[in-house]
Amino acid sequence: MTHDNSRLGLQRGTVRVVDSDPTWPDAFQAEAQRLSAAVIAAGLAALAFEHIGSTAVPGLVAKPIIDLMAGYGPDSDPRTYFDILRAAGYEYRGPQGVPERELFVLGPEARRTHHLNLVYAHGEFWRDHLYFRDRLRNETELRAAYAELKQRLAAAHAMDRGQYTSRKTAFVQRAISEQDLSPGGG
């Protein structure tokens, strides 16, 4: 079964946030299953897939791009997955200045639909992104504050995704830093 991605997509470098779409989790699941099948068919070690980013948080405004995190194990070399991801239509973009990550994008520049972060499962990138996602899912006030920030920044930086992203950093880092203070945290 293919998933209808007609409501997904955003031109590279631009920012537009839209209301939460209940089909986003299904779009993530369909893509994770498609990629898992390709990895298994190639005889490689399975990847662990997680839905991250704002499309993973019900009720949160988001750019209409599905963010996937694909985690590889301690005995795997991430480069062994590059050809599989390219064959699945993804374009390799490199780490983009982010430690522990290899970024791949799906869709033409005029309509990117998916971002895939290939990372070490359970590394810092993995842990931080899941922690932030779960806080947004579970904490109404944090989710509302983040939504307000995202809407304000999207309006101010509609043609500059770099500025939009960098202006969210302090908020995200503050929320992540609290995991070391939480019960059972870091």
**Domains of the chain (ranges, CATH numbers):** 24-73+80-179 (3.30.460.10)
pLDDT for position 104: 98
Picking from 174, 167, 139, the residue whose alpha carbon sits closest to that of residue 152 is 167
Residue type at 85 in one-letter notation: L
pLDDT for position 134: 98
CA distance 4 to 40: 24
Q: How far apart are the first and last CA of the chain?
A: 40
pLDDT for position 183: 53
Distances (CA, A) of 33 to 21, 43, 67, 95, 145: 20, 15, 14, 24, 33
| Residue position matching structure tokens 């995202």 | 150
Label residues 123-139 b or e (16+ Cβ within 10 Å = b). Answer: eebbbbbbbbbebbeee
pLDDT for position 152: 96
Give the model confidence (pLDDT) of 41-73 as tens digits: 999 999 999 999 999 999 999 999 999 999 999
**Which residues of the chain carry a pLDDT beneath 50?**
1-3, 185-186
pLDDT for position 7: 81
pLDDT for position 180: 62
